[in-house]
Amino acid sequence: MDPLTPKQQALVEYLAEAIDGAGRAPSLRQTAAAIGVSHGAVAQMLRVLEEKGIVKRPGRYSRTLHLVRTPGDSGAPGRSRSVPIIGRIAAGLPLYAQQEWDGSLVVDGGLFTGTSLFALRVNGDSMRDAAILDGDLVICEPRQYAENGEIVVALIEQEEATVKRFFRRDDHVELRPENPDFSVMRYPFGAVLVQGRVVGVVRGPEGIPDAPGRRPS
Active site residue 82: no
Catalytic entry in 56, 82, 104, 164: 164
pLDDT at site 182:
95
- CA distances for 152 relative to 17, 62, 170, 213, angstroms: 32, 29, 19, 15
- CA distances for 111 relative to 106, 108, 115, 201, 213, angstroms: 12, 5, 12, 12, 10
Catalytic entry in 56, 82, 104, 126: 126
Q: Would you kindly state where each structural domain of the chain is located, as residue ranges?
A: 6-67, 80-202
Q: Examine the pLDDT at 169 and tell me if it is beyond 70.
A: yes
| CATH code that applies to domain 80-202 | 2.10.109.10
pLDDT digits (tens, 9 = 90+) for 88-113: 566 665 554 544 556 777 777 767 77
Active site residue 126: yes
Residue 77's pLDDT band, with cuts at 50, 70 and 90, is: very low
| CATH code that applies to domain 6-67 | 1.10.10.10
pLDDT digits (tens, 9 = 90+) for 178-199: 999 999 999 999 999 998 899 8
